């Protein structure tokens, strides 16, 4: 069987996709994960094996979730003498169409078309070999049993027999394949022998590659970092050169500030000394003012005392003058008295009178 064209419309998340296959060579369909690569093979299986009205899970799950439309699959296929175009729509307005191009052109629809395709495939295709040739991502990785594929066995036996004559006792090619398979896999499909050793070497090599890749990445990172730092150093150097005059000015300003700071400290010391001197002078001035006040007070007292002394001297002078006057008077009186006494000695009566007069003068 040969596939010439495959078209999907509204299939799962695929709105429309068409692939044409060349008559010779290998076609590789590549794309991101979950983009619908495996869906192409799945759609071909549904087209060939399921009826358009099927309610099987495999058919239901391909219906698109974003719109209420039917999924369509169309293919152009050659098998044996037949070449035909086969199309089905599932889920909504189900239909099946078959157009046989060769050997005779025919147009069939519905179940009749489905059965005709099944008959042509059964006639021309080894279904076991058809399924065995495919390895799907979701399928088991266990070895495929090809013992029931007679066409493959015959073809391989003929191909193996081309290298020399057969004696009739050689094992079938399938048995030889099983023997060769057993060299590399256990009955449960696990690697063994050279294949297991190769896997181990591959793992070691991948680990070494990862380590080397990490080292290379680290080197690349450091190279990139070096380039960045080199660029930064160049930029800083330019900025440093440009900042030279400002640095010099800043240093000069710093020196000037240091000088002014020293002058300020000296001025503060001088101011402190002046403040101390001012305080001492103020205290001395206050003391002198107090002394002046005391002197003024004492001068007033002295003046008052002098005035009193002057008054006393004046009074003393007056008293003395009076005393001298009294003394003079006393002397005169004494003299008078003496005179009187002398006179009294001459007559006794008279003397008595004179004595009385002297007494009166003394009283004055």
Q: Is 111 inside any structural domain? A: yes
69 domain-assigned:
yes
User: Nearest to residue 1, comparing CAs of 97, 133, 155?
Assistant: 133
Per-residue DSSP letters for 108-163?
Answer: EEHHHHHHHHHHHHHHH--HHHHHHT---TTS--SPP--TT-HHHHHHHHHHHHTT
pLDDT at 329: 84
Residue 274 is assigned to a structural domain of this protein = no
Q: In this structure, how many other beta carbons lie within 10 angstroms of the beta carbon of residue 45?
A: 14
**Which backbone phi and psi does 119 adopt, to 5 degrees?**
-65, -40
Sequence-separated contacts (24+) of 260-267 with Cβ below 8 Å: none
In a domain, 244, yes or no: no
Cβ-based burial of 66 (10 A; exposed 0-12, middle 13-18, buried ≥19): exposed
Whole-number pLDDT of residue 361 = 41
CATH number at residue 57: 3.40.50.300
Please report whether residue 8 resides in a domain.
yes
Is pTM, for the whole model, over 0.75? no
Q: What is the pLDDT of residue 139?
A: 60
The answer to whether residue 150 is domain-embedded is no
Domain that holds residue 45: 1-125
Residues 6+ apart with CB under 8 A from 47: 73, 74, 75, 86, 87, 88
Q: Which residues contact 78 (CB under 8 A, 6 or more apart)?
A: 1, 2, 4
Tens of pLDDT along the chain (364 residues) come to 899 999 999 998 888 999 999 988 888 888 888 788 888 888 999 999 999 999 999 899 999 888 889 999 999 999 999 999 999 999 989 999 999 999 999 999 999 999 999 999 999 988 877 777 776 666 655 655 655 566 666 666 666 565 444 554 555 667 788 888 899 999 888 999 999 999 999 999 999 999 999 999 999 999 999 999 999 999 999 988 998 898 899 999 999 999 999 999 999 999 999 999 989 989 999 988 999 998 988 888 888 888 888 888 888 888 888 888 888 888 888 888 888 888 876 554 444 444 444 444 444 3
Contact 354, 341 (CB under 8 A): yes
Tally the domains of the chain.
1
Whether 18 is covered by a domain: the verdict is yes
User: Which residues, other chains included, contact 166 with Cβ-Cβ below 8 Å and sequence gap of 6+?
Assistant: none
Per-residue model confidence (pLDDT) at position 159 = 63
Measured between alpha carbons, how far is 312 from 300 in angstroms, rounded to an integer?
18
List the structure tokens of 20. 């044409």
What's the confidence (pLDDT) of residue 325?
A: 84
Which two structure tokens, joined as six digits, stand for 114?
């489905």
Structural tokens at position 210: 């990862």
Residue 252 located in a structural domain: no
């Amino acid at each position: 069987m040969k596939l010439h064209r495959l078209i999907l419309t509204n299939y799962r998340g695929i709105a429309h996709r068409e692939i044409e296959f060349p008559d010779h060579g290998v076609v590789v369909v590549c794309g991101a994960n979950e983009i619908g690569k495996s869906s192409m093979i799945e759609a071909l299986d549904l087209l060939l094996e399921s009826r358009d009205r099927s309610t099987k899970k495999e058919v239901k799950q391909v219906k698109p979730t974003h719109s209420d439309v039917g999924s369509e699959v169309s293919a152009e296929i050659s098998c044996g003498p037949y070449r035909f175009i086969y199309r089905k729509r599932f889920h909504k307005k189900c239909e099946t169409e078959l157009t046989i191009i060769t050997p005779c052109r025919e147009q069939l629809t519905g179940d009749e078309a489905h059965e005709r395709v099944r008959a042509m495939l059964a006639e021309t295709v080894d279904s076991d070999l058809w399924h065995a040739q495919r390895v799907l991502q979701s399928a088991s990785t266990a070895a495929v049993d090809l013992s029931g594929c007679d066409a493959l066995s015959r073809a391989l036996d003929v191909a193996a027999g081309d290298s020399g004559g057969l004696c009739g006792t050689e094992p079938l090619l399938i048995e030889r394949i099983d023997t060769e398979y057993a060299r590399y896999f256990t009955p449960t499909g696990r690697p063994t022998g050279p294949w297991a050793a190769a896997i181990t070497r591959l793992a070691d090599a991948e680990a070494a590659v990862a380590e080397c890749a990490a080292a290379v990445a680290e080197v690349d990172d450091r190279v990139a970092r070096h380039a960045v730092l080199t660029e930064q150093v160049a930029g800083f150097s330019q900025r440093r050169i440009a900042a030279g005059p400002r640095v010099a000015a800043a240093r000069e300003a710093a020196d000037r500030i240091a000088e002014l700071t020293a002058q300020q400290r000296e001025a503060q010391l001088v101011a402190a000394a002046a403040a101390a001197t001012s305080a001492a002078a103020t205290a001395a001035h206050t003391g002198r003012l107090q002394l002046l006040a005391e002197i003024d007070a004492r001068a007033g007292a002295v003046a008052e005392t002098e005035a009193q002394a002057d008054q006393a001297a004046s009074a003393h002078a007056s008293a003395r003058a009076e005393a001298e006057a009294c003394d003079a008077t006393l002397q005169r009186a004494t003299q008078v008295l003496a005179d009187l006494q002398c006179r009294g000695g001459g007559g006794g009566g008279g003397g008595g009178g004179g004595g009385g007069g002297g007494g009166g003068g003394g009283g004055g």
